[in-house]
Chain A
Amino acid sequence: RRTVGRAMGLAGLLLFLVPAVLVSAGFCHGAPPTERAPEPAEGEPVSGSFREDSLWPLPQWLRTSPRQLQLAPGRFQLVHGAGSSAGPDCGLLQDAFRRYYEYMFGQSPRWTRGRGPPGGRGEPELSQLQVVIEAPDPGCHSYPHLASSEAYHLTVTEPVAILKADEVWGALRGLETFSQLVHEDDYGSFLVNESEIDDFPRFAHRGILLDTSRHYLPLKSILTNLDAMAFNKFNVFHWHIVDDQSFPYQSIYFPELSDKGAYSYNHVYTPTDVSLVIEYARLRGIRVIPEFDTPGHTQSWGKGQRDLLTPCYSGERPTGSFGPVNPILNTTYDFMTKFYKEISSVFPDAYIHLGGDEVNFDCWKSNPEVREFMRKQGFGIDYAKLESYYIQKILDIVSSYNKGYVVWQEVFDNKAQLKPDTVVQVWMGNNYAHELSSVTGAGFTAILAAPWYLDYISYGQDWKKYYSVEPLNFPGSEKQKKLLIGGEACLWGEFVDATNLTPRLWPRASAVGERLWSSRNVTNLQDAYERLTNHRCRML
């Protein structure tokens, strides 16, 4: 059990005002330590035998022994192992070493170097964790992507523990696991059980969606959330950055968008802010996929970009209000071409989320020029065709910048022509299994969000219902099932801001984290409850 909450680590990074009620360690009382489970036979995979080591998410293969090793904070080191393709110039790992050291031992100035021989317990000392990256290109200076390897192999035995991974991303996952194995006994000694772990994620896309349009989220909130994601091995931050209500993204080419569309000058993300988020995420093996949702959900865009949105009509007269992006004007596509050029260069991930959900056709229908356009194009009165016409052009624009795209399911449902590597995000709750069948049946990659709308709060232990979702429970071939690459827990912002984000999202999202990382047969709620309660205290 930790004595120092991990959340304190951020205080060292940024100087900010901690809110009136400090969350510090020690308020997580926890139950008294339970009796150890009987020794497992050698070589048999076990799950979570020892309650001191509450691993979350549960690794794919794990063998622990009751034999314990001691760690001396003054001497213990996280280092690059011999033969590793990564070395001291690997900033990502250097940063991780310091971060995980602090998570395990706290930031106490107590831990001065080498304080004499090991006292107290007779256990052998574990002096190092050596990290060995095996791929010729470790990935230290690159961005994580969908095909990145997050696998790792951890051997904890005296005198040194070895963490092997193909790429640095696996090392990050392994460091998190190792830090979860280290625990304190009643006397304050740091111990770790001899163990061997072989681990890799079940799904490659494990995301969290945050909505910074309905309520602005200060940078600190986003960064704290990235920390929490790393504790749970999430690897995608789906940044739903703008929407109807506000446009906080400060665009370089179109500064008026946030000048006029943000809640205030204080409620923006400057290019520096955005870079900070991207790098902070990268150091934790987290991809940042921005979502610029069009043609619906764009009211705030119209404030700073005149003539972008469709003017709505009542009879012959414009009403003064606006609808979705106007799909019939060339200026729309000129704007989008330039806008997505910027987005493509600002956000390094291979994918951009283009939205495409909940397009209300009423305004288009009311506009005589739009109706005229429909006639000319031969769309009849099928406005889904107009929507697809628009989406098509946006997809082509984005493709020309060599980006892949993620879209909400309506884009697929309304039969737009999608590139084969499009990712379709299934969010509608009604019979989502059927939708997954359709999407993957048509050969598209899918990610699942529908059962994981965490903004829908309810009383009691609702984490269980998120945990109990089995993403592959849909009719389909093996080939189809492979197309479901993962899922996302979504925290829409209608009722969420910095005052309640963290307790609302966590540890409920942890349930989704394990579902997406761990093996399909890890479903025991009682075992999960025991590990999750300890994990939650550790996260504080």
Chain B
Amino acid sequence: AENEPPWGTPCTQLLVFVATPGCDGFPSLDSKENYKLSVSEGSLLLSADAIWGALRGLETFSQLVGRDENGTYYINKTEIVDFPRFPHRGLLLDTSRHYLPLRAILETLDVMAYNKFNVFHWHIVDDPSFPYESFTFPELSKQGAFNPMTHVYTASDVQTVIEYARLRGIRVIAEFDTPGHTLSWGPGAPGLLTPCYLGKEPSGTYGPINPILNSTYKFVTDLFQEVSTVFPDFFLHLGGDEVDFTCWKSNPKIRAFMKEMGFGEDYKKLESFYIQRLLDIISSLGKGYIVWQEVFDNKVEVRPDTIVHVWKENPTPYMEEMANVTKAGYRALLSAPWYLNRISYGQDWMAAYKVEPLKFKGSPEQKDRVIGGEACMWGEYVDVTNLTPRLW
């Protein structure tokens, strides 16, 4: 054959050397994923500061191993020094628009590991369904799941996902999106959502979470207390996107509250009022938070270590939004150009590839605040029958 390599010593061992212990911990935003790989005659060495780097190096090593036409495995003499450019490299799956069976999630985690993704953003509940089985509020999934017997994630399922991810160096960041995107919460939590009005009478439909009741905040505290213990990552994604004000505006008690609080007609202030209290609750639970960009755009007061998730392409172009977010001192995550659910004909991977996350006018400090991005696979048209070929 043309490319017959000169055969050296058969390689028998890949030695993996990890500097810092920590096999039993969870990966975090600060985890070190750097590694060195050295392949030469008689010596295969993978060294990393932390186990997470070892995982990344193993993946690379496995990609270097080739097989010739005789079936013989070989590897070229190689030196690799590697580390990620961005520490947050995520994938969003939406298990509310369509339920995804556990094995679909686990298979996705495998493929994420092949591609060195390290964050699984689990958009677990939303308007259409509530598959998360809560032990504090079991009625949420009993009433809110597509089928409470079959289309739920039990506590054991959730732990399986978290551990499967951990073994691949992948963080699991759960998103319980509020106050909008919560219709499925209503049936299992009466009184949580705002009743919409038609004139003087309730119309029978519901809107976002009701921000004016104390019971709301009690509920939110208890739910997130549970969520904080179930999901070990420091960060929770709190959502906060696309809050439709129509229902709030229709409700007389809310209008009265607006007046009382001096918010005038600016419902963004009411939204901020809710989010503020939510963020304080989360903080008191010892968690950090990620929020969709509206929370920043609507000028909610957020902690300095908040991460703002940029997803919109208009009215503000996303690069401009990245500049604004980082200029205000917050860390940013980019998803806007990476909504992979928006399929199109041909090799559209190129458009995703060409995105340069730091292509905005800003200081080096600003650019440092871009911690990475996420590819999003929203589930309106996606279920287990087409998830894998659509995403990869």
With beta carbons under 8 angstroms apart, the residue of A22, A27, A457, A502 that contacts B343 is A457
B232 contacts chain A at the CB level, 8 A cutoff = no
Q: Verify B107–A21 contact, CB threshold 8 A.
A: yes
Q: Verify A21–B344 contact, CB threshold 8 A.
A: no
A21-B341 contact, Cβ under 8 Å, with A29-B147, A499-B389: no
Closest to B387 in A: A21
Q: Verify B107–A459 contact, CB threshold 8 A.
A: no
Segment at the interface with A among B80-88, B169-177, B377-385: B377-385
**A residues in contact with B151, CB < 8 Å:** 27, 29
Segment at the interface with A among B4-12, B47-55, B98-106: B98-106
A135 contacts chain B at the CB level, 8 A cutoff = no
Closest to A502 in B: B385
Q: Verify B346–A495 contact, CB threshold 8 A.
A: yes
**A residues in contact with B390, CB < 8 Å:** 500, 503
Interface string of A489-519 (1 = CB under 8 A from B): 0000001000110111000000000000000
**A residues in contact with B103, CB < 8 Å:** 20-22
A438 to chain B, nearest CB (A): 28
**A residues in contact with B159, CB < 8 Å:** none
Q: Verify B147–A458 contact, CB threshold 8 A.
A: no
Q: Verify B107–A20 contact, CB threshold 8 A.
A: yes
A458-B388 contact, Cβ under 8 Å, with A27-B383, A29-B147: no
B3 contacts chain A at the CB level, 8 A cutoff = no
B298 contacts chain A at the CB level, 8 A cutoff = no
A457-B383 contact, Cβ under 8 Å, with A21-B103, A26-B150: no
Q: Verify A459–B385 contact, CB threshold 8 A.
A: no
**B residues in contact with A455, CB < 8 Å:** 345
A525 contacts chain B at the CB level, 8 A cutoff = no
A120 to chain B, nearest CB (A): 22
A23 contacts chain B at the CB level, 8 A cutoff = yes
Closest to A456 in B: B345
Query: Main secondary structure on chain A at its contact with chain B?
Result: loop
Q: Verify B385–A540 contact, CB threshold 8 A.
A: yes
B289 contacts chain A at the CB level, 8 A cutoff = no
B316 contacts chain A at the CB level, 8 A cutoff = no
Interface size class of A (residues with CB under 8 A): 20 to 34
B267 contacts chain A at the CB level, 8 A cutoff = no
**A residues in contact with B147, CB < 8 Å:** 29
**B residues in contact with A117, CB < 8 Å:** none
A residues 58-114 with Cβ under 8 Å of B? none
Q: How many angstroms between the C-alpha atoms of A456 and B390 in the bound complex?
A: 14
Q: Verify A21–B384 contact, CB threshold 8 A.
A: yes
B330 contacts chain A at the CB level, 8 A cutoff = no
Q: How many residues of B contact A (CB 8 A)?
A: 24
**A residues in contact with B386, CB < 8 Å:** 500, 503-504
With beta carbons under 8 angstroms apart, the residue of A21, A499, A500 that contacts B104 is A21
Q: Verify B384–A460 contact, CB threshold 8 A.
A: no
B residues 134-164 with Cβ under 8 Å of A? 146-147, 150-151
Q: Verify A457–B107 contact, CB threshold 8 A.
A: no
Q: How many angstroms between the C-alpha atoms of A21 and B150 in the bound complex?
A: 17
Q: Verify B388–A457 contact, CB threshold 8 A.
A: no
Q: Verify B388–A499 contact, CB threshold 8 A.
A: yes
**B residues in contact with A456, CB < 8 Å:** 345
Q: Verify B345–A503 contact, CB threshold 8 A.
A: no
Closest to A24 in B: B101
Interface string of A28-50 (1 = CB under 8 A from B): 01000000000000000000000
B110 to chain A, nearest CB (A): 9
**B residues in contact with A27, CB < 8 Å:** 99, 101, 151, 383-384
B218 contacts chain A at the CB level, 8 A cutoff = no
With beta carbons under 8 angstroms apart, the residue of A457, A458, A503 that contacts B385 is A503
Q: How many angstroms between the C-alpha atoms of A44 and B343 in the bound complex?
A: 43
Q: How many angstroms between the C-alpha atoms of A482 and B101 in the bound complex?
A: 49
A38 to chain B, nearest CB (A): 23
Q: Verify B385–A29 contact, CB threshold 8 A.
A: no
**A residues in contact with B354, CB < 8 Å:** none
With beta carbons under 8 angstroms apart, the residue of A21, A459, A461, A540 that contacts B388 is A21
With beta carbons under 8 angstroms apart, the residue of A29, A459, A502, A504 that contacts B344 is A459
Q: How many angstroms between the C-alpha atoms of A297 and B99 in the bound complex?
A: 43
**A residues in contact with B383, CB < 8 Å:** 27
**B residues in contact with A495, CB < 8 Å:** 345-347
Q: How many angstroms between the C-alpha atoms of A29 and B383 in the bound complex?
A: 11
Q: How many angstroms between the C-alpha atoms of A461 and B343 in the bound complex?
A: 12
**B residues in contact with A457, CB < 8 Å:** 343-345
Q: Given contact pairs A29-B151, A460-B381, A540-B385, enumerate 14 new A-B contacts (beta carbons under 8 Å).
A: A21-B104, A21-B384, A21-B388, A23-B385, A27-B151, A29-B99, A29-B147, A457-B343, A457-B344, A457-B345, A458-B344, A499-B389, A503-B385, A504-B386
Instruction: List chain B positions with a Cβ less than 8 A from chain A.
Output: 99, 101, 103-104, 107, 146-147, 150-151, 341-347, 381, 383-386, 388-390
Can you list 21 A-B contacts (CB < 8 A)?
A20-B107, A21-B101, A21-B104, A21-B388, A22-B103, A23-B384, A27-B99, A27-B384, A29-B99, A29-B146, A29-B151, A457-B345, A458-B344, A459-B341, A460-B381, A495-B347, A499-B388, A499-B389, A500-B389, A503-B385, A503-B386
